[in-house]
Structures are given as C-alpha cells and as structure tokens.
Amino acid sequence: MPEPTKKDETETQSAPPPPEQKTPQDGGTGKDKDEDDTSVSTPPADGMSKPAERKDSVWSIGEGAPEESGKRDDSQMSTLFIEKPQSGSVSVGGNITFIAKVEAKDLLRKPNVKWFKGKWMDLASKAGKHLQLKESFERHTKIHTFEMHIIKAKENYAGNYRCEVSYKDKFDSCSFDLEVTESSQAAQSIDIRSAFKRSGEGQEDAGELDFSGLLKRREIKQQEEEPEVDVWELLKNANPSEYEKIAFQYGITDLRGMLKRLKRMRREVKKSAAFAKGLDPAYQVDKGGKVRFMVELADPTVELKWYKNGQEIRPSAKYIFEHKGNQRILFINNCTMADDARYYVTAGDEKCSTELFVRDPPILVTKGLEDTSTYVGERVELSCEVSEENANVKWFRNGVELSDDPHSRYRIKVEGKKHTLIIEEAAKNDNATYSVMTTGGQSEAKLSVDLRPLKISLALEDQTVRLGQEIHLKCEISENVEGKWYKNGQLVEASDRVKLYHKGRIHRFVIASSAVDDEGEYMFVPDAYNINIPCKVHVVDPPKLHLDGLGENNTVTVVAGSKLRLEIPITGEPTPKVVWSRGDKGITDSGRIRAETYPDSSCLVIDAAEREDSGPFRITLKNEAGEDTALINIKVVDVPDPPQAPNVTEVGEDWCVMTWEPPANDGGSPILGYFIERKKKQSSRWMRLNFELIKETTFEPKKMIEGVAYEVRVFAVNAIGISKPSMPSKSFVPLAVTSPPTLLAVDGVTDTSVTMKWRPPDHIGAAGLDGYVVEYCFEGNGFSQGISTDLSEELLEPPFHVEADEWIVANPELTDKTKFTINGLPTGSKILVRVKAVNAAGESEPRYHPQPILVKEVIEPPKIRLPRHLKQTYTRRVGETVNLVIPFQGRPRAKVSWEKNGSPIDKNHINIRNTENDTIIFIRKAERCHSGEYDMKVEVENLVDKATIDIQIVDRPGPPEIVIIDDVWGENVNLSWKPPKDDGNAAITGYTIQKADKKSMEWFTVMEHYHRTSATINELIIGNEYYFRVFAENMCGLSEDATMTKESALIAKDGKVYKYPVYNDFDFTERPMFTQPLVNTFAVAGYNATLNCSVRGNPKPKITWLKNKVIIMNDPRYRMFSNQGVCTLEIRKPSPYDGGTYTCRAVNTLGEAEVECKLEVKGGLSFFRLLMDGVPPHIIDSYMREVQADKTEGK
C-alpha cells in the first residue's frame, strides 16, 4: 500500500519562517535529505467539498500542533449513509479505524463501497499489513457496516480520504481527514518537492509557492517497508507527454519550476571553509513582505559580496546590509515578483547560494456557482466571480479538469473577475457536478439536463400488402430527434433493401419490394425517450406450384418396386391448403399411396410402386389470395428381360467373336446397350469385359489365355437398370500359332554354305514352340523383281514372286536352335532364305531375308575401332588395374598381334585375350615399367590395320636433389633447390616448403603448390635458428621424402654477433642389433598369433620375415608391422601347417642381424580344409606326412 500523505491546502495568509529555523548542513546537505524523504502529496480528493468546509493543517518548524481553520458542514442530507466516517487524528505508529454504515432496508442486494485517498487512489488494491478493509451485515437491524483499519500509521498517511457507496442509480459520497501527529523522535527538515506546489500550472503566474510545503515535516527514519518514489527520476526517464500526468499524480503542481530549479538545487554542497554557516536552500515570502538572508563567516575580515541572478547587489532603501560579529545579514524590503530569483554570496573564492520564492496572495471565490436546470439542446452558462481580475481559475467536471481546447464542447469565457463556463448545446450526458477552483478557494454546482416532453403527431398504421409491393411506414413526433426501427424486437439497420429516412420530425421506413419475411410487428423508438410507436405489417401471396424440376408434360418416372416420394415446392401467404386426387378419388394422408403436406412443400408418396400406379395425379392449392392446380403424370418402369444365350462364331489366339439377339421385353424403357462377361469354364468368377455400353449385338472379347476353355454371357441395360444375365455360351478354347521369327540375318558365307541366325518370335503363345523350319530357293523366274535394298528391313512377304513348290526345306527335322548352316550349295549361286516357327497350332508366318545371298566367301578389310579415350595418352597410377577393350572388324579369320615399344609383349606381366570382334589388354597391378607405346595390328590375308596406344603409369615423385640456403638477411631466408631426378613419370606441378625451429624440430608448412625452384621465406622470428625442407609434387601427390638443408639459418639479432663454437658431428650410424629377441610361441589353430621383437640401427634397417628360411611375401595370411623399432608378424587364423621356424632379418648399409623362434600350432586341420583354404596339394601332402610322423614318434 502506498503511504497516505497529508493533504496541503493554500493558506490565505501565512507568516515568514521563525528566525530559529536551522539549515540542514550538519551530516550532509539539505538537498540530499529532502530528496530522500519527501512524501508524495495528492490533489484535492473531491470537488464536492470547499476549502472553508474542511480542516487545513499547516506546521511551522519548531511549532506545535496545527491550527484548525474550519469545521465540516454536514448539513447536506445523505441518501445512503446512516453513519459517515469522521475525521480523526493518530500519532505515528498508532492504529485508527474509520466506520461507515448503510441501511439495507430498501436494498435488494449489498451496495458497492469504495475507499479512496485523495482524488483517485483506490485503496482496495493497496490492502496489506498497513491497511485492512472489512465489512459485516447485521440481520436484525439490516445494517451494512464497512470499516477501514490503518495499522502503524506513518506521518505521510495524513491527508484527505473519501468513501463512496453506490446502489443501482443511487450514489453517496463522504470525505474525511486523517491527521498524523509526529513522535518526539522525528527531526525537522524542509520538503523541497512539496514547496513546488503552484496554483497556476502552465499560466503566467506559474512559480507561486505553497509556503506550507516548505515547512512540512518529514521522517528522518528511513521506511524500509515503503520505499520512497524519486519523482525527479520518474520525470527524467519518462516520455515528455507524460510529465503532467506524473506531476499531478505525485502532487507537483509547478512542473516547470520543478524541472528548472530542482535540477539547480540538487547540486551537492561541499563543506565550506569560509562560511561557518551558510544560507538555507530556499526562502519564501509573501508579495510586499520582507525577507532576511544571514550567513556566518569563519573569518570576519573576508570581503563579502551579494548577488541576484549574477548581478551584484548594492545597498539601497530596498536592500539593507547589517553586520553582527561574524554574521552578515541582507534584508530585502517590499518584495515583489521581480525579487523571485536566485541569490548567492561570495567570500573570497567560495560561494553560497539560495532560492527566494515570492508568492502572491491567494485568489478567493467571491461569488460561487449556482445549480442549474435546462433542456437538451439549450445553451448553458455557469458563472462565478473571484477576488482579482484575470486570475488563474480551473474548471472541473465530476473532479476531472476541463481544458479550453478549441475542439472541446466546453468554452471558458473570462471578463475581469467574472469567469463563465459555456455549453452551446446541452446533452443528456452533461448531467454532472461542475466546480471551479482557485488558489484560495473553490465552488461547485450541479447541472441537470432533461428531455422535453415528446408528443406523437402521426402514429404508424397497420398495413396489408401483396408480395413484391412496397412497404411504407411513416410517423411524426413533436421533437427533431433521431430514433431506431425494430422488427419483432430486433434492431433494423439501413441497407440496400431497407431505406430509413429522417427529415425534421418525420421518420419513414421503406422496403421497395416486400418479401414473406418482412411480415411482423414494427416499432419506432425515439432516442433518449422511453416511448415506442408500433404497427403490424401483413404480407399476402397467391398460392403457386413450382414444377420446374419435373420432366416434359410433368412426367415422373419411377422404377417398379421402389418407393416414390415426389416433393412439390409450394408458396403462398398465408400457407395454402393442398388437395391431391387421382381421377374422382381424393388421396388421403395414409395408405400405400398418400399425401404429406408441409409449410413450403407437399409430397406424393407411393410405397413399392407397381405398373398399375401409372397415370395422372392432380394437385390443387387454395388460400385467401387465390388458387393453383396442375396434373402430374406418373410412369412406372422396370429392367428388361435377359437376352438369349450368345453364340461364339470365330476363335483366335486370345480373342473370339460372339453374337446374340435382343431381349423380348425391354421393361418399358428402350434398350441402351449391353454388358458382356466371361469366365473360365472351371471357375465360378465372372469378369466384366466392357465398362461402356455396347449398342450392337456383336462383340469381340480379347486378352484371353490360350489353351484355356472360356464361357461368355450378356446383360441388357435400359434407363432403369441391368437385366438378369443370359444363359452362358458353349465353351471354347483360344489357340494360335506363334509370331514369325525376328532379326533374320547372315552369320557367315563360304563357297559351299550359308549360315543364318535369327531371334525367337516376339510372341510364342500357349501352344509353345516346337522348333524352326529353314527354307531356301535358287535364282529363277522373277527372282530379281522387286528386290529390297534395305538390309535392315525385315520382310514377311517375299521380295519377288516365287512359287510355293520352289522352296526347299534345308532341315527335314525341326531345329530348336536359332542358328543353322545350309550346306551343299553351288559356288557363285544366289539364294533367298526364309524361316518359320512351328508349334502345335501349325507354322507361323515366314520371316524373309531382305536380299539374295551370294554363295561365295567375302573378305572384309580389317578395321580397328579405337575408343576415343585411347586416342590420347592413357594414364594410370602405380598399383591400379589396366583393362582396355579395343573392338575391330575383319573377315575371315582376322589375326591380332601386339608390340610394346617395337618389341613383343611379355605375356607373363601383360595378359592379352583376342576374340573375333575385339581384343583385351589386361594388367592387374600397373608398374612404371608398363609405360610405353603399344602397337596393335589386325591382319586379314594381305590386308592390315594398325593402331597405337600410349600408356603412362605414374607415381609420386622423388625429393628434390639438393636444397641450399642462398642468403639470410633480417627476418628473411632465400632458398634454392634442384628438381628431383625421379619425376614419377609425370610433370612436376609444384613444391611444398616447410620450416622447423632447431630447438623443437617441429615442421610447419610455409608454402604449398610453389612452382619455382627458389623462394624467399619471410617473417621468421629473430634469434631462432631454422632448418628447411622441400617436397616435390606431381599429379599423384607429394613425394614420400623431402630434401632438408644441411645447414641451419640463424636469424641474428641486431648488434654484436655471437660466434658459436664449432663441434664435430657425432656419428650415430650403427649396424642392426636386436634389443628384444623372438621367443618360442604356442598358438591355437583358428586364432590369430603374433611374433614380436625389437631392433635398432642407423640408417633405419629393412625388416624381412622368413619361415623355414623362405622369405614371406605377398601372402594374405601374414601381416607385418614396424613401429618405432618394434617389429610384429601377425599370422591370421593359423593352422598346424603354419608351424615352423620363423626368422626376423634386419639389414642396413653397415651389416645385418637375425633372430629366430619356433611356432607350434595346436589343433589339426583335415586335408579337405587345407585344400579349401588354398594350400597347394604338394604342400598339403608334405604336411600330412609330418603330422603322421609326429604321431608315430609320440607313440
């Protein structure tokens, strides 16, 4: 809960502060105390109470309790309160309770009660340990009691409070004061912020002070429970548009003076050596009064000067100087508003300043406002008179200040001492309490705005209109006010269809084209009047049948056996009477044929329609507006009879042709078409063959399986539905010969034979394929007529006329192969060849060769078709596979030969495989020795074709030959080197240069992909000594080794160069020596075994492993490792065959060393297992004999 504060009132007359008033200089500046402990003041709480009707409390520093200036006038009768809360007094830290009572005799529910502090601070949301709100109800006396408890009161809880009670349209309010007396421990100080309360905020007289604010007490003790609010920080951080709101909320009425002077006063006062006692922070005096400034000097001989706003003050009748010992006093007589300024006094280089505030006497209300009653629309003037002309006066409406904004409906007029609030056109919402406030008083009055009595000059009349005609409602009232139209209690808004007109006192409601929904009770209600003008509108419409959805001649067709529900939309207002009839007999609302009537339709219902129900039905409508009638024809139809069993007239490989006769009875509706179904004879599942109706009585089913018996049947379809199926046809089996063979071509020709080849038929069918028949004929009559010239064309007809008996069968027995040689042909003759496929259904159509074939061997010149990627140099890396396929052509018996660099190819290293159409060169693991030009030659008798393939096998290059340090200067080193002797059979693409500090010998790359053979290394560290090495690079990557500089480069420091002593290099060379020998090992068959030893030597020795004195190499069962001198041989899943003596040999340029051990593998393997593992048979045999001998010795 925010701390309640004492309400400050402007006194009409006040005296200057007593001379014994002290300035807060000891223990800190007065500014700091004022800023930390200032309490928040609130504006007047209620515009209903006047200053003379409440008690004002003003303290002077060092004086006692405040004086009472007036008593509360409770003469005004209360409408709800039977007991009001009374003003009270409590000491700091004490408790006090305020009680309000409301009688509930005439109230149906509990009234709403609110407690306020000041003007708008609602205390309901501030309840806590310092404030509690309670309520109770006594059933016997029917009295509501409301209590507000203030616990451990603080001094700034003092001020004006208000209690409001409301019930429906009743309202009552009561104001009361709380006075908090200070305890004896409280100190006296000045509240700077409360001093800036002015009566004319933003006006010309802004700057007048509330002197009681300067003298207001404050607490020295810091309140931990309720932290103080720094208004200056709020104003500094807030948006400028919120300054006035914050100032009004925290009781600051002089916002401009607050922002200007408080900023100047907040400067910290330093302890003065010249002044034993300085000026107070601020002084206040009434206009025409006298003020006294006094300082006390530490040194009375110091010269003193007084200044006002920076101008030195000279002695005169107005300014009087006085000396009393160390005291220096300045009197200002007859103070005016021009004396309201900043003053300071200088003593040598030191200065002491203060602020003087001159206040005008308060403005009094000499003639108050009077209660006024008027009518809506009339001009209202509320006037009052004040004690001075052109005084600053504020107007309030229900406690809310009114502004003189040009756009406001309120206008304020000032004529000398008379101030008038003008409302040009009074409205109902102008009912309120209006008040006027000055610096010395206030006055209030109630404004009551009532409506003029309303008379109805022309009332609305009830109307009956036909559907589609205009509805026009008109009324006239005595006042020119707006109003609202209602239909059946619902508000009607103007729209494109509904037009509302208001001209003067006449109101009209117009609907150009009426609808059925427009019928109802209409009412016009004038705004702000509790009166309505009603009328009724009745819309009538002749009956009408809507038969748009029926067919030609109003015919409705229904399927026999189904239910007919014929719904006929009807209109008419009022709802017409409906009568159904058939002939002279009426139809009732029950039975198999019945009528059902609804407000907007009528239904004819026929359950389980029969053919006898066909015929005309009559419907008749009648109401007060007319009559309508119509005839509706009902037609009952059914599905057709099934057709007769169909006949299958023709059968193919997967198709047949079927016919049938139309059904004898179409069911009363024309036949639209037929559906066909088929099934396998041994199956019961029928399959629909067409999804679109067939108009004809013949059909060709397709996509049947050859060799399977089928049956078919037919359905007839009309507009009603599908008939029952016909009887199935007689069963039939589809079967057909194969299609002709494909791709018939000549495979080879000799002087006495022709070899033909072909592909099987595209479609063989269910009858299968038994074989082929090859036929030929010689040159004869008509042989050369119409011969095709397209060798790729496949013919199903002979290219010339040949009699059937002229064809000779080449194979008396069927051949199941797709290649056949016709032998015994005369050399030089020409033949035509054809091939037929044969199955159980017979011979297929023949396939003809498109050209006559000359029986004579033809020589085809050799031609090598070298692939495009082999026409350039073919490059592979060492270890990769080379597999090249080179196609060629040439007949007969083409001979292929290869040479490498002019010499025959060694087939032990390079594999060559030749076929009739291509040759393959294969190298499993390419070596650099395989590089070279390979010459291929294809020979056919005396004809030759050649081609050359350039194969390049590349590897990583060797290191550069030598690296030399050419020059060292500053932080730079110039290097040069020679290209490597071995370029890896590929061009050198660049070099990588690395550097290493001699101390750490850690290598770092400084250049990559460098193309030149000399380089300058920059940004080296002074004082360090570097070695450099260079790698060569080609398309395969960097060289395995690098060439290092033999000498180091020292980056010398400036100054004297230290000459290092020369030491002879130590010879680290050493012949190989095993530091850890091999040990005899036992291994389990099937589990990996390892042999380990360690060796040292310089240069690094080459390690070779031997088994039984035989070098182990290229054997996948062994893996060899060497790391930091530790040599390891891993034997993967050993068998007893792997047992024996293993030797590790180390060799370098200075000598060699050996170490050996025995390995025994326990757990034998069978002869078959060793054979499956790839062990050669002769080794297996030797191993088995050794195992057998070991077993014999063991026995």
Strands 533-545 and 564-573: antiparallel
φ, ψ at 248 (rounded to 5°): -70, -35
C-alpha–C-alpha distance, residues 252 and 262, integer Å: 12
Helical H runs in 526-607? none
Cβ-contact 785, 739 below 8 angstroms: no
Residue 259 pLDDT level (bands cut at 50, 70, 90): low
Q: Looking at residue 392, what is its pLDDT?
A: 81
Q: What tens digit of pLDDT does each residue of 209-225 get?
A: 333 333 333 333 333 34
Average pLDDT, the chain: 81
C-alpha–C-alpha distance, residues 896 and 919, integer Å: 8
Residue with the bigger pLDDT between 651 and 1010: it is 1010
CB atoms within 10 A of CB 549: 10
Maximum mean pLDDT: which of 543-547, 1040-1044, 1136-1140: 1040-1044
Q: Looking at residue 21, what is its pLDDT?
A: 38
Cβ-contact 1018, 967 below 8 angstroms: no
Given a cut of 50, is residue 17 above it in pLDDT?
no
Helices and strands (DSSP H and E) totals, the chain: 8, 86
Cβ-contact 886, 897 below 8 angstroms: no
Q: CB neighbours of 710 closer than 8 A, spacing ≥ 6? A: 656, 678, 679, 680, 681, 701, 704, 731, 732, 733, 734
Given a cut of 50, is residue 316 above it in pLDDT?
yes
Q: What tens digit of pLDDT does each residue of 333-375 get?
A: 999 888 888 899 998 888 888 988 887 777 888 888 999 998 8
Radius of gyration of the chain (CA): 63
C-alpha–C-alpha distance, residues 887 and 921, integer Å: 12
Given a cut of 70, is residue 184 above it in pLDDT?
no
Q: What tens digit of pLDDT does each residue of 849-905 get?
A: 888 888 887 778 899 999 988 888 899 999 999 999 999 988 777 899 999 998 988
Both tokens assigned to 501: 């007109």
Given a cut of 50, is residue 672 above it in pLDDT?
yes
Given a cut of 70, is residue 1141 above it in pLDDT?
yes
Cβ-contact 949, 883 below 8 angstroms: no
Given a cut of 60, is residue 62 above it in pLDDT?
no
Given a cut of 50, is residue 1113 above it in pLDDT?
yes
Which H or E element spans position 1181? Answer: helix 1177-1194
Q: What tens digit of pLDDT does each residue of 544-553 get?
A: 888 887 877 8
Identify the weakest region by mean pLDDT among 48-62, 193-207, 243-257, 511-525.
48-62
- Tell me the three state secondary structure of residue 498: strand
CA angle 776, 803, 754 (to 5 degrees): 10
Residue 786 pLDDT level (bands cut at 50, 70, 90): very low
Q: Looking at residue 613, what is its pLDDT?
A: 84
Given a cut of 80, is residue 1007 above it in pLDDT?
yes
Residue 1058 pLDDT level (bands cut at 50, 70, 90): low
Q: What tens digit of pLDDT does each residue of 925-964 get?
A: 999 899 999 999 999 888 899 999 999 999 999 999 999 9
Residue 44 pLDDT level (bands cut at 50, 70, 90): very low
Using left for φ > 0, alpha for ψ between -120 and 50, and beta otherwise, residue 765 falls in left
Instruction: Determine the distance from the C-alpha atom of residue 729 to the mean position of all C-alpha atoms in its chain, rounded to a whole number.
Output: 68
Residue found under tokens 């009670």: 165
Cβ-contact 744, 716 below 8 angstroms: no
C-alpha–C-alpha distance, residues 745 and 757, integer Å: 6
Given a cut of 80, is residue 629 above it in pLDDT?
yes
Residue with the bigger pLDDT between 888 and 573: it is 888
Q: Looking at residue 250, what is its pLDDT?
A: 53
C-alpha–C-alpha distance, residues 116 and 131, integer Å: 12
C-alpha–C-alpha distance, residues 704 and 679, integer Å: 10
Both tokens assigned to 108: 């149906």
Helical H runs in 743-834? none
Residue found under tokens 């639209």: 672
Question: What is the model's pTM?
Answer: 0.30
Give, in order, the Cα–Cα distances in Å from 1120 to each of 1094, 1098, 1106, 1156. Answer: 13, 21, 11, 15
Whether cis (ω within 30° of 0) applies to the bond prior to 728 is: no
Q: Looking at residue 1033, what is its pLDDT?
A: 94
Q: CB neighbours of 1052 closer than 8 A, spacing ≥ 6? A: 968, 1022, 1023
CB atoms within 10 A of CB 1176: 10
Task: Please give the single-letter amino acid code of residue 924.
Answer: R
Residue 797 pLDDT level (bands cut at 50, 70, 90): low
DSSP state of 1087: S
Nearest to 252 by CA among 178, 287, 181, 202: 202
Q: Looking at residue 71, what is its pLDDT?
A: 36
C-alpha–C-alpha distance, residues 1100 and 1071, integer Å: 9
Q: Looking at residue 1051, what is its pLDDT?
A: 87
Residue with the bigger pLDDT between 24 and 230: it is 230
The pLDDT of 284-313, averaged and rounded, is 88
- Tell me the three state secondary structure of residue 520: strand
Q: Looking at residue 1191, what is its pLDDT?
A: 66
Q: CB neighbours of 484 closer than 8 A, spacing ≥ 6? A: 491, 492, 524, 525, 527
Task: Please give the single-letter amino acid code of residue 185.
Answer: Q
Given a cut of 80, is residue 689 above it in pLDDT?
yes
Which H or E element spans position 1188? Answer: helix 1177-1194
Q: Looking at residue 716, what is its pLDDT?
A: 95
C-alpha–C-alpha distance, residues 454 and 92, integer Å: 61
Residue with the bigger pLDDT between 1179 and 904: it is 904
Residue with the bigger pLDDT between 1192 and 1066: it is 1066
Cβ-contact 1134, 1118 below 8 angstroms: no
Given a cut of 90, is residue 1146 above it in pLDDT?
yes
C-alpha–C-alpha distance, residues 1171 and 239, integer Å: 99
Percent of the chain with pLDDT over 90: 34
Q: Looking at residue 1167, what is its pLDDT?
A: 64
Given a cut of 50, is residue 1002 above it in pLDDT?
yes
